[in-house]
Structure 1
């Protein structure tokens, strides 16, 4: 699931998401396969909220593309929820604080 979403974002990010580089860091799927929480890292980090808003607007299109790719392997294509993974920003902040 993570690999397929990453591939979708790689191919669609130029057109849909203001040319930002979007990588999928983690995907957590519920046991009944009804929900997939996807954590994305966005580079450059300015306007993260706006890009996340665009991703959520494009959610039906992304789910449709995902369904065509994994439809043969999965009985149900899960609903997608997207969240910003800010762990890299957190690590960068800790490093900056330790250097001072």
Structure 2
């Protein structure tokens, strides 16, 4: 469970990293689509941040993730410029591919392919006779 401090820092990093990737360093992805930052998890000492990127749109997610990882120092420097008044230390950044949306889409597709027969209709009269009679508490 993350502390309030970790949650606040994670929220700040998520917002500012999105701005860095969109506005400050658009050349990092060389004209590709900017990934969305799905989650940021910060260590208890606020020294390391695990950034999860959703790379659904666009070709070859692993190549784009490698491209971002090559520019980690540049991204961290730009982030430091943006949060220098809010944070004492800029955490080390590690980027990961978040494939939870792709997994959810796959599971939805699998569930839609299942052939589940509908439940047989039950008569209401049969239901009343099958249940044992409850004792009456009040007359």
RMSD: 1.4
- The one of 35, 39, 58 equivalent to 2:52 is 39
Q: Which residue of 2 aligns with 1:6?
A: 18
Aligned residue pairs, count: 100
Output the TM-score relative to the length of structure 1. Answer: 0.92
Does structure 2 retain, via aligned residues, the 8 Å contact 1:26–1:39? yes
For structure 1, the 5+ residue unaligned runs are none
For structure 2, the 5+ residue unaligned runs are 1-12, 114-139
User: Structure 1 residue runs of 4+, over 6 Å off?
Assistant: none
Larger radius of gyration: 2
User: How far apart are the structure 2 equivalents of 1:45 and 1:96?
Assistant: 21
Higher strand share: 1
CA gap 1:12/1:44 in 2 versus in 1, 3 angstroms: farther
User: How far apart are the structure 1 equivalents of 2:56 and 2:24?
Assistant: 15
